[in-house]
Amino acid sequence: MSTLTFQGAVGEVTGSRYLIEMEGTDRSYRVLLECGLHQGGKSADEANAKPFGSLARQLDAVVLSHGHLDHAGLLPKLVREGYSGPIHCTRGTRDLLEIMLEDAAFIMAKDVEWENKWRKRNDKPLLEPLYELADVERTLQQCKSHGYGQPIPLPGGATLIFRDAGHILGSAIVELAVPSGGQTKRIVFSGDLGNPSSVLMKEPEKLFEADVVLMESTYGDRDHRPLEETLEEFAQVLEEAHASGGNVLIPAFAVGRTQEILYHLSVLYHAGRLRQQMVFLDSPMAIKVTELYHRARKSLDAEDLKVLNIAASGDTGRYLPILRMTRTVEESMAINRIHGGAIIIAGAGMCTGGRIVHHFRYNLEKPNTRLVIVGFQAAGTLGRQLVDGAEKVRVLGQELAVKAKVHTIGGFSAHAGQSQLIGWAGAFRDKPRFYLVHGEPETQQVLKHALEESGIEAQVPGYGDRIQL
């Protein structure tokens, strides 16, 4: 009998990992679904540092739903510890991994270097990064990319098919047909389901057949505001910021969200509603991803492409004349001489590092600054502290008083809301077993109850829980 073990993204939104074990005629086979980084605080760092142990050498295949780090960010660590088999993903995911994993390794190296300077001075044991660029290179070499709808044979007699999840470029719903006890059992993992209101992406595919469904529940306790209302709120915040004379800070989720925000800024600009005279995209990774979206535009929603095509080709004169791409550290530092009238989109999205925290040092203590949060902030992150109303935060070793006005605009989310999750779940026939993953505990309980009201029973697994397929 084949089994599935929940090894991550249970009771939390990050750290996605599920182990599928199948009994073959000659031996057992192991497939790892996702290999995500935990994000948010010291406990996340400890979870990331935990060795894979013998699992790294026992695995026969790895399957990824998409390229976000909470789903794929520990892959190079797995490879570093001995995994040498195939990593199956879509073409878009493979291209994103090259950008995102290299960036993660670079930031990790800088963070460890900084920490070790302090440790040397205090006679503490030195740290090693989770992985290095050489591990990323090996990981990319092991990636096998596939198109949507293409059956892919896996070791142990399993079959994999990717379906479009509509979340970010290359994002997939994972469909696995697994032999178990003389039968074939179908596992469907939602990955991150997209928000149909988002621009650029297609709508998530609905599936109808499954025995076991693992469904994300990030926004399982609420629906997003309609896009029209969201855009109006966004426009008003920008207008307020212009009137107050302050800068607007937008923590950048480099993949998907940044491209969407640029799209909407362009629409506001061409409608004569953008009063700011400078927009900075201050994230080398977000710039690279925007260029990748342009190259992969055939995968995107045809109706939304006109604005993005101009952006990615670099023709800012037509797209957004006030947009400036700041790739170098010197260009980024120069922004801090601007005391008002600028929109600064900078990484990282949950404010856990990157250039946004440097802009916090110069802007967070100013009452005329507007901080616009446009994505989910995981528990334990600096972004979550700010959303929850912290009056003081620690940034780069310095305590800052939060005098900026913080706006959370949830309608830009690239995740499905509660009604969309229930609608997607309701398409399955014959009542498969549902397990809610990728959600905070309170949110999952709200979604579980809402699903029950729609006639769908769902369970909330715990870390290490193992089910028979």
Q: Please write the tens of the pLDDT for every residue from 142-160.
A: 999 999 999 999 999 999 9
Report pLDDT for 145: 97
Q: Tell whether the model's pLDDT for residue 311 goes beyond 50.
A: no
Report pLDDT for 318: 61
3-state SS, residue 426: coil
Report pLDDT for 297: 81
Report pLDDT for 307: 54
Q: Mean pLDDT over residues 2-15, rounded?
A: 95
For 101-157, the pLDDT digits (tens) are: 999 999 889 889 988 998 999 999 999 999 999 999 999 999 999 999 999 999 999
Contact 5, 214 (CB under 8 A): no
Report pLDDT for 308: 47
DSSP calls for 187-210: EEE--SPP-TTSSSSPPPPP----
For 56-80, the pLDDT digits (tens) are: 999 999 999 999 999 999 999 999 9
Q: Tell whether the model's pLDDT for residue 40 goes beyond 80.
A: no
Report pLDDT for 412: 85
Q: Mean pLDDT over residues 339-356, rounded?
A: 92
For 274-310, the pLDDT digits (tens) are: 999 899 999 999 999 988 987 888 888 877 766 545 4
Range among 10-14, 301-305, 308-312, 464-468 with highest mean pLDDT value: 464-468
Average pLDDT of the chain, as a whole number:
92
Cis peptide preceding 348, ω within 30 of 0: yes
Q: Mean pLDDT over residues 245-251, rounded?
A: 97
More reliable by pLDDT, 388 or 252:
388
Q: How confident is the model at residue 354 (pLDDT cuts 50, 70, 90)?
A: confident
405 vs 81: CA distance, rounded Å: 45
Domains and CATH numbers, the chain: 3-222+414-468 (3.60.15.10), 227-412 (3.40.50.10890)
Report pLDDT for 411: 83
Q: How confident is the model at residue 314 (pLDDT cuts 50, 70, 90)?
A: very low
The encoded tokens of residue 320 equal 């957004």
Q: Mean pLDDT over residues 407-427, rounded?
A: 93
Q: How confident is the model at residue 428 (pLDDT cuts 50, 70, 90)?
A: very high
For 20-30, the pLDDT digits (tens) are: 999 887 899 99
Report pLDDT for 210: 98
Amino acid at site 234? F
Report pLDDT for 316: 44
Q: Mean pLDDT over residues 221-240, rounded?
A: 93
Question: Among 422, 439, 423, which residue's Cα sits nearest to residue 376?
Answer: 439
For 197-216, the pLDDT digits (tens) are: 888 899 999 999 999 999 99
318 vs 220: CA distance, rounded Å: 39
Report pLDDT for 312: 47
CA distances from 208 to 163, 224, 346, 425 (A): 12, 25, 40, 9
- Total H helices, total E strands in the chain: 16, 22
Q: Mean pLDDT over residues 234-242, rounded?
A: 96
Q: Tell whether the model's pLDDT for residue 331 goes beyond 60.
A: yes
321 CA to centre of own chain: 29
